[in-house]
Structure 1
């Protein structure tokens, strides 16, 4: 039953039922249909008199012509109509061929004392309603029912005629029982035509059925969304890159809206430390994933990568340096110690303070690969950023910080400082100022046309293949194929599947 396509079945039912209802109503039973509508049924109070003597007795189609005893009377007007989609011939009435009568109009607890045919939609129908054609009235005294017999009148689609009857009560009191038409059609039916005012019960039932189908589909759609999100119960610990931590945290929060069965723990302290932890601890623990800025280094043969997104990085400076743009060459010279004062690149008279991420940082490795290159000389020996702030040496100084948050705070607080960070974090931070590289800002299009150099690929690493029903596998599916892609995109990252070369998650065309 797990793989049973219930949503598809419901969709088919939702389409088929209205079609079948239409076919049943208008093709099968509704193809030939006579309707009758009681347009007036009202008692007559007081004594009846006619302005023209003899008119009321003449309503009675047979008898000796004597005026009837007109007491406790009622007047009824009934409309008989062809409301099907085809014409009705005399041979369509389901009564013996030898019988001229096709319809029987019954009036319980009343007898007919007078009747007349009125309002013919087609004068030709009058020939079928002449005396001798089967029209007449009678009384079923045993059951106290007055009856008007009507002939087998041929009626084109939309034709109608009316019967006006004067009736006298024979039993009971209060309201009269409703008139009833007794008849059958071959391949059709005779039914009372309800007023068009208001909503048909059948229509309401059909609407209710369709609403129920839509509601069930909606519920299953929610369940499908949950299944798409994974909804695997268990615990998932995420470690690694502090640069990508905000995006992963937000993605996990969104995942939790669809699946509350997964418990998340976050222990981000650097890409290298995350990789080491997964390598050492997760051989028998599929609930541990490392997020890394860039590919793993040597020494992790058991770790399997999965590309997540292309991430943008940016250079940041203390606002006091007075610089808004740097070339790649200038950045290399600054980190090599060849530029020792911001005046040399158009800034203020301040010594340069170079802030680096600690060894093992994925962001630092991305900076080295994309901005410095392999020919860059070794970075001068670093000291403490606090020491630099306290001593304020006149020469350029170098220090290191462990995580992204420390990088952003140090550059914001330390005069003359320069550093680097994941772009979305830097854009939201206060104090540190982003700078363009050779006039180009961090943007997806700038990377795709190879004008912006500072970017990297975010990876998720597991120790060996993940079981399909593990929390880690479910969360990775959410990040790469589900709503998680939108979360990554909202942080300025480009999901790998949206790049020209998604297999390597590279902007190369």
Structure 2
């Protein structure tokens, strides 16, 4: 650090502080976040605080004609403290489990409870008498999977009694168990506090930002007109990208940000740049062969991205795992199916199940909409979901001409075209990367064996439809080439943020990083 000017350190802090504050407030706190507050937990028999002429009424509470041993009153507030709505499918629980939240009170039993102060009258419909998931057993209160818009909340008022042979000193606060898919810190419900201005970490960051700004101002006046150049890991030249349509949104945004940071870099992107994993690898291999680089040469101006490893052969193409990409099955809205077992999926693609009513859906023939051969998404479907079995024969080359009166299959070239075909075809079933499917409101994702398409589920081995996104180079590019520079950019913090923003997960962040290791490459 002795050789680094202190002005540069201040400049780096000046950039880092607002970025950290923004990421905290808008990415961490801004994602799905389920919270709770314990607004009251007090004993009615505490002689030190139970005063007043009517205090004895609370101390004489009974249950079935018997005085309570040591009654206490608890008021819980359940709230959506994130920026995204929480729906029933977001709760981390099996599909057939109606309970979304459990509140346990060790050493106490629940005498009675009531849900009160719903932020919106429609929330009361979730707590009608006899609602599945709503109840109290011994010392545990169960609450159903409630849809909560941003800032929505409801409260639970409960009367409890201390169990015999339990000391009051041993009593603890409630233990709340719940979680949401894709939430902050793994989605676990968090105890929240009320901040009238901003959370404590953000207040500290803002104070530090003020100090950094003051220091920069002092440094500017002290330096006068002296210029300080900030070092940047930028390469110049033109970079050509090709390959996966599923990873195209990540590369488009990364290319845009990289060229903003590095004005001497150019990354032209066209619709023909991304035609599928295999065509992208073909383009890279052809360009390398035409360049006649020799045994130790490498292309420094081309990269190809593939959903999964390349096939055998082409030893000049070198892999670099970038991210775990998540895929999902999608159906048209009229199928009536939102969940399939892995066996049912395989039977559908094997032609053993040909009508949705055979899997408790509507009476509609199943129309399979698939990507062309060479698609990484299609390869991932065959490899990881269908256990290596190929897709059935195509019945028509144009999805618009499918005979919806009987089962059929058609193929399209890209993910957007596949989603359009599924949305417009009665009884359609297709496959897509998750980010593109989530952005559509005219198709429905299908759970597999009860598990939705989540990165956590794929990382833990519960969800099967995923693949490693791999960047391929032709040979080893020079370290100062634009291809090498762009790969380093994807691996740094800004690149990781871009990858996450499009629904993928950087390999380095997985609980099991070896999941991203390319096999057969």
TM-score category, normalised to shorter length = 0.5 to 0.7
**Counterparts of 1:486 and 1:326, CA distance in 2:** 32
* Cα displacement (A) at 1:219: 5.7
Q: Distance in 2 between matches of 1:385 and 1:321?
A: 23
Matched, 1:493 2:499: no
Does residue 250 in structure 1 map to residue 253 in structure 2? yes
* Residues 320, 471 of structure 2: 8 Å contact kept: yes
> Which of 359, 365, 388 in structure 2 is aligned with 1:351?
365
Whether 1:415 and 2:426 are equivalent positions in the alignment is yes
Which residue of 1 is the match for residue 88 of structure 2?
Answer: none
Asked if 1:280 is matched to 2:294, the reply is: no
**Cα distance in 2 between the residues matched to 1:287 and 1:392:** 46
- How many corresponding residue pairs? 304
The structural deviation recorded for 1:441 is 1.2
- The answer for the alignment partner of 1:401 in structure 2 is 412
What does residue 458 of structure 1 align with?
A: 469
Partners of 1:412 and 1:430 within 8 A in 2? no
Alpha-carbon distance between aligned partners in 2 of 1:314 and 1:238, rounded to the nearest angstrom = 25
Deviation at 1:5, TM superposition (A): 3.9
Give a deviation string over 1:325-348, Cα, whole Å, max 9, x none: 111111111111111100011111
For the residue of structure 2 that corresponds to 1:265, the secondary structure is coil
CA offsets 1:382-404 (integer angstroms, 9 cap, x no match): 03353x64352533111111211
Unaligned runs of 5+ in 1: 13-205
Per-residue displacement from partner, 1:204-230 (whole Å, max 9, x unpaired)?
xx997545469999964xx33xx1xx3
TM-score (norm 2): 0.54
Any residues of structure 2 matched to 1:32-71 within 5 Å, and which?
Answer: none
Report matched runs for 1:61-460 at 5 Å. Answer: 209-212=218-221, 220=229, 223-224=230-231, 227=232, 230-266=233-269, 267-282=273-288, 284=291, 285-374=299-388, 376=389, 378-384=390-396, 386=398, 389-390=400-401, 392-460=403-471
- Superimposed CA distance per residue, residues 390-437 of structure 1 (whole angstroms, 9 cap, x where no aligned partner): 352533111111211111111111111101000001111242211111
Q: Is the contact between residue 290 and residue 461 of structure 1 (CA under 8 Å) also seen in structure 2?
A: yes
Partners of 1:420 and 1:404 lie apart in 2 by 8
Please, which runs of 5 or more residues in structure 2 have no aligned partner?
Answer: 11-214, 292-298
TM-score (norm 1): 0.56
CA distance in 2, matches of 1:357, 1:418: 12
Asked whether the equivalents of residues 234 and 485 of structure 2 are also in contact (C-alpha less than 8 Å), the reply is yes
Deviations 1:449-499 (A, max 9, x none): 221111110000010001111111100000012411100001111101112
- Deviations along 1:304-362, whole A, 9 cap, x unmatched? 00010001100000111111111111111111111110001111111000112111111
**Two-structure CA RMSD over aligned residues (Å):** 2.9
Q: How far apart, CA to CA, are the structure 1 residues paired with 2:382 and 2:248?
A: 21
Partners of 1:303 and 1:11 in 2: how far apart?
40
Give the equivalent residue in structure 1 for 2:5. 7
User: Could you say what secondary structure the match of 2:303 adopts?
Assistant: strand
Distance 1:472 1:11, change over 3 A: closer
Partner SS state of residue 355, structure 1: strand
CA drift at 1:273: 0.6
**C-alpha contact (below 8 Å) 1:282/1:462 kept by paired residues:** no
Secondary structure of the equivalent of 1:462? strand
